[in-house]
Each structure stands twice: as structure tokens, then as C-alpha cells.
A and B are shown apart, each in its own frame.
Chain A
Amino acid sequence: MNRDNLAFLQIILNNLDVIFFIFLVFLGFTSGTIAEKSHYRSIKKREENLMHIPVVNSGDFIDNSKEIENVYFISGSCVVALDYFKMVFAAIKQIFGGRIQSYETLIDRGRREAILRLKEKAASKNVDVIINLRIETSSIGQNAGQKGGIGSVEVFAYATAITYKK
């Protein structure tokens, strides 16, 4: 190995952490974008399929002309992880202020996925209407509760499902 190659190698080794950082950002961006796009495709398709089940967050949406047969508590939850690019993007945005778009899509995906899972459960029980829908969010994972890092976000959706007597 000639001296130039050796010196080049040395520069790379000295700056390994910077290179690793750039690699992680790149990896996070590509894998995160691919995962997000395919998740949104799946969300949109399932939302169309389950559109027929009425969901409201109000409590008084019961058809009084029909007799209630069953009342269930149903829930759906979903955990979405941050990718490295989203985290770095948010860290930089937090200095300047403004919308953190990288988190917005993440939370949006979480909420819609949790509601979809709730609706999928409802569909399996032939539910007629879902009332009192509520959503809770919490950050979990390795860095949860620590300053400067959110591991992943959990979205929990819960509601009351009602079936009418046929």
C-alpha cells in the first residue's frame, strides 16, 4: 500500500464517527422513506375497505329506533419508530423553530394505523357503530423520557363498539 492510500485510510479512520453519522442519516432517509410510502399505501387501501363502519368521537350517536344487542370495549394500538434522519431533522428544526414535518408524518401514521386496527377488530365482530373514540399517545423505547431523544411513539386508540339487534 503506498503512502497516499495509507494517509487516506488514516483520515477515514480518524473521522469514522462523522462518516458513520452521515451513513446513518442516509440509511435513515432511504429506509424511512420506503417504509413510510409503503405504510401510507397500506393505510389508504385499508381505510377505503373499512369506510363503511361509522366512527364518531361523540357519545350520542346511537340509532334510538334500533335495539342494542351488544356493547364492547375495543382498542387498537400501534408503535412507530423514528428513523435516524427524522431524529436529526427534528434536532435541527428544534433550534430554528417551526413545524417538524418529520414527526408530523410519524404521528399521523401512528394515529391512522391505530384507528384502522381498532376498526379491523370491530369489523371482525360485525359492529354497527363505533362511538366515543379516544386517542392517547406516549413515547416509548430506549430514549423515552430522556431529553433529546424519542425512541418510538405508541398510539393507542380506544372506543365503544355497538351492535344492533337485526
Chain B
Amino acid sequence: MKYIPKLPDGDINAPTTNLLKDFIYFLAILILVIIFIYVFLGFLVDIVAEKISPEFEEKLAYNYMMMFEKKPITVKEKKLQKFLNDLVSYTDLKNRKFNARILETKQVNALAMPGGNIIVLSGLLKTVKTENQLAYVLYHELGHYAHKDHLRGLGRGLVLSLIATVLFGSDTFFNRTLSSSISNIQLKYTRSQEIKADLYAIDLLYKKYKNVAGATDLLIVFGKNEPASKAFSLFTTHPHYSDRIKAIDNYIKKKNYKVLMNSQIKLNL
């Protein structure tokens, strides 16, 4: 037996294919598959959201609200709850129970959470001057409940995390990255819902006060801080404020609602 020295057989075990090309190819397929699943399941969520009962919703919301359950209800929250109950009595949602809780943060917003839990951020309470303005914001949130937007949002969020978990396992870096990158697409979905909720709020504001003053006050304040270019509005939940204000103004004109600026009621919380 004679030993013939020779080098290893070239790069047979180390392919010299262009990895970047392959990477982009498979990444593109993966993104297409995810978009397909997301859109398909999204449609299913829309159908299911219409049929979810408030009782089942409360079960879904249980985990969400645990962080609030532990905190005692403050005097301010009691007043806010009373105000909310009064507002609800003018709507078709009379049979449902709504809870108002305040979250201490500088942000100016209110959130419609599952199970009829409306979270008002304390920054909003500092910004609103009149009862009418706050009523508008709360009616806007109630509009989301009336249109079941909160369940659609939750459902799509669930679809997202489901895709990420199945593909990459729970709580991995991929999971978090995927969720946050797709949520940008999801944000756009809620834009038409925002305007729908705006118009719903206008109707009810008029029903309660016989006057729609204060409706666009906050939107005008927000509008001052928003970017001048519309390109950026693609990345935010709420549509460009000027678009919303325009839609609201047109609606008020169409419906012939009265706008009595001086008859707004001072907020007492």
C-alpha cells in the first residue's frame, strides 16, 4: 500500500454558491408566505370578531387587566367612571359594562382595551379643558367598541404573534423583530376605523349636548405637533390629523350640527 499525498478535494464540502442571493430569495418567499397567512387569518379574525360575545371578551381581557385589578380605584377614577356611565347611557351599548381606569403617563391618548376597559392616560386629562372635549374622546373609544375594532386589533395581534411563535419559537429575537416589523403594516389597517369612530363620536356628542363644540379641539392640538409631511402618517395609528379634522368638519356640515364654542362645560374631575 502506497500513500499518495494530495490536497483535500477542492471545495466539495464548502460550497462557493452566493449565499446572499440565496438569502434574499428565501427571505422574499418567507415574507410572501407571512403576508399571505396574515391577510388570510386577518379576514377570519374580522368574521370572528363580529360574533364574539361580551362575556367571552371579558375572559380574553382578564390578563390584560390584571395590572389594573391590583391598584385601588382612585377618586378621580370614580368621577371618570360616573362620567363614562352617563355617556354610555346615550349609546346603543347601554347593556354593556365599561370600566374607566387612569394610567399615569405623559402621553396624551385613550385606549379601548378588550372587555370594555377604557384606559385614559393621565396626559390626556391634563390636556383636556372641557367636559365636551373629554366626552368626544370617550365617545371615540366607545365607537371602537361599537365597531368591534378593539377585537380586530387584538385578533390581528394574536395572528402576528402566532406566526412568529410557530416559525421561530416563543420569545426569541426573531419573534420580537417580526412582530414589530409587521405591526407597521397593521397600523394602516386601523385608519379607516379611526375616522369611523370619529363620526360615531360626533353623532353621540350631539345627542348628549345638542352641540358638537370641542370635538376637533384636541385633534387641532395634536395636529400642531405632527409632521408637516403626510408621508410619515403611514407609520402612525391615527390618520393624519388634518384628514380627520376635515372628515369631521364635512360631517358636521352635512348633518347640520350646531357648534356653540362658548357653551362648553368646564371639566370637573
Chain A residues engaging chain B, CB cutoff 8 angstroms: 2-4, 6-8, 11, 14-15, 17-18, 21, 29, 40, 44, 47-48, 51-52, 54, 56, 61, 85, 88-89, 91-93, 95-96, 99, 101-102, 104-105, 107-109, 111-112, 129, 147-148
Closest B residue to A129 by CB, please name it. Answer: B3
The complex places the Cα of A14 from the Cα of B180 at a distance, in Å, of 9
> Does B5 touch A at the CB level, under 8 Å?
yes
Q: How many A-B residue pairs have CB under 8 A?
A: 87
Give chain B's interface residue range (CB within 8 Å of chain A). 35 or more
A17, B8: Cβ atoms closer than 8 Å: no
| Interface bits B135-173 vs A (CB < 8 Å: 1, else 0) | 000000000000000000000000000000001110011
Inside 8 A of B235's CB, which chain A residues have their CB?
11, 14
Of B30, B177, B226, which contacts A95 at CB under 8 A?
B30
Give me the 4 closest cross-chain CB pairs, A-B, nearest first: A7-B227, A108-B14, A54-B3, A7-B232
The complex places the Cα of A54 from the Cα of B108 at a distance, in Å, of 76
Of A4, A101, A109, which contacts B22 at CB under 8 A?
A101
Known contacts A15-B181, A40-B14, A105-B15: A92-B26 contact under CB 8 Å? yes
B13, A108: Cβ atoms closer than 8 Å: yes
Known contacts A14-B235, A21-B173: A85-B7 contact under CB 8 Å? no
Inside 8 A of A96's CB, which chain B residues have their CB?
26, 29-30
Inside 8 A of B75's CB, which chain A residues have their CB?
none
Least CB distance from A148 to B in Å reads: 5
B5, A54: Cβ atoms closer than 8 Å: yes
| Interface bits B101-116 vs A (CB < 8 Å: 1, else 0) | 0000000000000000
Closest A residue to B224 by CB, please name it. Answer: A3
The complex places the Cα of A107 from the Cα of B232 at a distance, in Å, of 46
A91, B174: Cβ atoms closer than 8 Å: yes
Inside 8 A of B173's CB, which chain A residues have their CB?
21
Least CB distance from A112 to B in Å reads: 7
B228, A4: Cβ atoms closer than 8 Å: yes
The complex places the Cα of A85 from the Cα of B180 at a distance, in Å, of 20
> Does B261 touch A at the CB level, under 8 Å?
no
Least CB distance from A75 to B in Å reads: 19
B180, A8: Cβ atoms closer than 8 Å: no
Inside 8 A of A18's CB, which chain B residues have their CB?
177, 180-181
Closest A residue to B17 by CB, please name it. Answer: A101
Known contacts A61-B1, A92-B26, A96-B29: A11-B232 contact under CB 8 Å? yes
> Does B20 touch A at the CB level, under 8 Å?
yes
A15, B184: Cβ atoms closer than 8 Å: yes
Inside 8 A of A47's CB, which chain B residues have their CB?
7-8
B29, A56: Cβ atoms closer than 8 Å: no
B169, A147: Cβ atoms closer than 8 Å: yes
B8, A89: Cβ atoms closer than 8 Å: no
B14, A85: Cβ atoms closer than 8 Å: no
B19, A89: Cβ atoms closer than 8 Å: yes
Inside 8 A of B225's CB, which chain A residues have their CB?
3
Least CB distance from A161 to B in Å reads: 15
A148, B29: Cβ atoms closer than 8 Å: no
Known contacts A51-B6, A91-B168, A107-B13; can you find 9 more A-B pairs with CB under 8 A?
Answer: A2-B228, A4-B228, A15-B181, A47-B7, A47-B8, A61-B1, A85-B19, A89-B19, A89-B22
